[in-house]
């Protein structure tokens, strides 16, 4: 696989305008969740490594839901990079971009979406070959206004805003020319996951999948 970070991301194939950011607790049927998201049109799924159940969920989705492209989010250490790769994650999403973590993520051979919230972080990652970055925590650090402001001085960069992005403001982000997709947890509400309400998840995913960049 090429060492070019952007080429790795593009090798995943087309990414929907909304990437579900999923927190899976014990007892949640990860496979049914993944299938519901895919039926709704969201087949790129970020499972965050914030619970003990996360790695097992990634492993089961990767092995048993072939229509899904599942990755690990909130990856904060080289050890988590290795663990995510071992269980079959196809991409990594980092909440920040410390050098040692970025090195490990690049060495994994997987597609990587490192996060930036300042212009200096954005430019530093661009120097390393990244062209698509996670923008986190989006709403807390300036949201749409900040991304609009950096568009002219950093025309080669694209962003996936995450953190405070919701059904209410997703269109505002996607209307920006430097935002091809957003990350959102609203398509996987905790009560729906707890209750196994996959019809609701599918409906929320279908609504999100109807969004598109530039509109």
- Quickly state the pLDDT bin for 120 (edges 50, 70, 90): very high
pLDDT of residue 3: 81
Domain boundaries, the chain: 5-208
Give the orientation angle of helix 54-64 with respect to helix 78-86, to 10 degrees. Answer: 30
Q: Is the pTM of this model over 0.85?
A: yes
Residue 177: band (very low, low, confident or very high) from pLDDT cuts 50, 70, 90:
very high
What is the separation of C-alpha 188 from the centre of its chain, rounded to a whole number of angstroms? 14
Catalytic residues: 46, 134
pLDDT digits (tens, 9 = 90+) for 42-78: 999 999 999 999 999 999 999 999 999 999 999 999 9
Which residue in this structure is represented by tokens 């209307």?
Answer: 175
User: Got the DSSP string for 132-191?
Assistant: EEEETTTGGGTHHHHHHHHTTT-TT-EEEE-SS--TTTHHHHHTSTT-S-EEESTTS-HH
Q: What number is the average pLDDT over the span 117-140? A: 98
Give the integer Cα–Cα distance in Å for 73 and 43: 15
Angstrom distance (rounded) from CA 215 to CA 164: 20
The answer to whether 177 and 214 are in contact (CB under 8 A) is: yes
Write the class of the CATH domain 5-208: alpha beta
Question: Is the pLDDT score of 1 beyond 80?
Answer: no
Distance CA 183, CA 19 (A): 5
Angle separating helix axes 30-39 and 198-209, nearest 10 degrees: 40
φ, ψ for residue 149, nearest 5 deg: -70, -35
């Amino acid at each position: 696989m090429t060492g070019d970070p952007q080429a790795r991301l593009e090798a995943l194939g087309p990414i929907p305008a909304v990437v579900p950011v999923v927190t899976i607790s014990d007892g949640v049927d990860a496979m049914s969740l993944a299938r519901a998201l895919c039926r709704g049109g969201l087949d790129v799924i970020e499972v965050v490594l914030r619970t003990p159940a996360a790695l097992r969920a990634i492993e089961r989705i990767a092995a048993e839901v072939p229509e899904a492209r599942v990755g690990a989010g909130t990856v904060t250490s080289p050890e988590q990079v290795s663990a995510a790769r071992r269980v079959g994650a196809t991409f990594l999403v980092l909440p920040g971009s410390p050098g040692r973590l970025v090195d490990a993520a690049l060495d994994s051979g997987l597609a990587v979406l490192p996060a930036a919230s300042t212009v200096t972080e954005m430019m530093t990652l661009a120097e390393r070959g990244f062209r698509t970055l996670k923008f986190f925590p989006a709403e807390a650090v300036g949201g749409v206004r900040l991304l609009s402001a950096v568009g002219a001085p950093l025309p080669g960069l694209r962003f996936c805003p995450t953190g405070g992005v919701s059904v209410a403001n997703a269109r505002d982000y996607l209307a920006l020319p430097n935002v091809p997709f957003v990350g959102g947890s609203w398509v996987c509400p905790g009560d729906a996951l707890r209750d196994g309400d996959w019809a609701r998840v599918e409906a929320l995913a279908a609504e999100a999948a109807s969004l598109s960049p530039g509109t």
